[in-house]
Amino acid sequence: MPLNFTAIDFETANNAAASACSVGLVKVRDGRVVDKAGWLIRPPLGFDHVLEWNTRIHGITAADIVDAPLWCDQVDALLDFVDGDVLTAHNAGFDMGVLRAACEASRLETPDLRYLCSLRVARKTYHLDSYKLPVAAMAAGFEDFAHHDALADAEACAAIIVHAAKRHDVSTMEDLARITGGGLGLIGPAAEAAAADRRPAVLG
């Protein structure tokens, strides 16, 4: 099977995971980037205030997102782009948490998705002083990008996964997940059901 996946990155308006204000998406087929997209998002109501600290990080202001589509109005486009791919993100727990929280805040069911963390992959692939995205991306040969621009970060993440797969001589996300210390992560109802099945039964 070829190395197929979609890299994803979110930026947030404030400290709340639900406050997604930008997304970047990069689709990879057979180890090559074939499509990319990115857009601004108006976070779910109640989570849409923009902190100055966050603006300093990513440059997105309240004025930038006032006319952007709400999370609930753009999530179908996001999922259409992903089209069932394994996702990858750098520190994927953050990005999967954003996706889950924004869906919950919008009263939408979190979709069933599989993912692989490029931070975990980088730690198992390179010997670096830091595994932050710019440093890990440089090790993968991807340099001089606009860190905290969601699309640029997704491109950097994709570069890490492609380079790491070559280093480990694997050709699927499943094999890369296995060789770097575990399986693919899961979010959505299927993940919740699996977690429930693993809980010990309480005897009355």
Q: Can you tell me the mean pLDDT for 21-42?
A: 99
Residue 204 lies in a domain: no
The per-residue pLDDT for range 128-153, each reduced to its tens digit, is 999 999 999 999 999 989 999 999 99
Which distant-in-sequence residues (6+ apart) come within 8 Å of 70 by Cβ?
41, 42, 43, 44, 45, 106
> Total domain count for the chain?
1
What's the pLDDT tens digit per position in 39-68? 999 999 999 999 999 999 999 999 999 999
Split at pLDDT 50, 70, 90, the class of 202 is low
CB 71 within 8 A of CB 77: no
Distance CA 22, CA 74 (A): 11
pLDDT, mean of residues 65-83: 98
pLDDT at 1: 65
CA distances from 137 to 51, 92, 169 (A): 28, 15, 19
Who's near 139: CB < 8 A, 6+ residues apart?
122, 125, 126, 128, 160, 163
Per-residue pLDDT at 84 exceeds 80: yes
For strands 113-117 and 185-187, give the pairing. Answer: antiparallel
How much is the pLDDT for 93?
98
Asked if residue 193 is part of any domain, the answer here is: no
* Model confidence band, residue 182 (pLDDT cutoffs 50, 70, 90): confident
**Per the domain annotation, does 128 fall within a domain?**
yes
Question: In this predicted structure, what is the pLDDT of residue 200?
Answer: 72
Q: Which domain holds residue 145?
A: 5-187
Q: Residue 199: what pLDDT?
A: 66
Query: Identity (one letter) of the amino acid at 127?
Result: H
CATH number (domain holding residue 166):
3.30.420.10
**Confidence check: pLDDT of 10 > 70:** yes
3-class DSSP assignment, residue 150: helix
Does residue 203 lie within any of the structural domains? Answer: no
Average pLDDT rounded to a whole number, residues 71-91: 98
Is residue 200 assigned to a domain?
A: no
**Contact present, 153 and 9 (Cβ < 8 Å):** yes
Q: Is residue 155 part of a domain?
A: yes
Q: Measured between alpha carbons, how far is 74 from 64 in angstroms, rounded to an integer? A: 16
- 196 domain-assigned: no
What's the gap between Cα 158 and its chain centre? 10
> pTM for the whole thing?
0.94
- Is 72 a residue whose pLDDT tops 80? yes
pLDDT band at residue 120 using 50, 70 and 90 as cut-offs: very high
Q: Is the per-residue pLDDT at 166 higher than 80?
A: yes
Yes or no: say if 40 and 65 are a contact pair by the CB < 8 Å rule: yes
| Mean pLDDT across the chain | 96
Q: How confident is the model at residue 174 (pLDDT cuts 50, 70, 90)?
A: very high
Residue 173 within any structural domain of the chain? yes
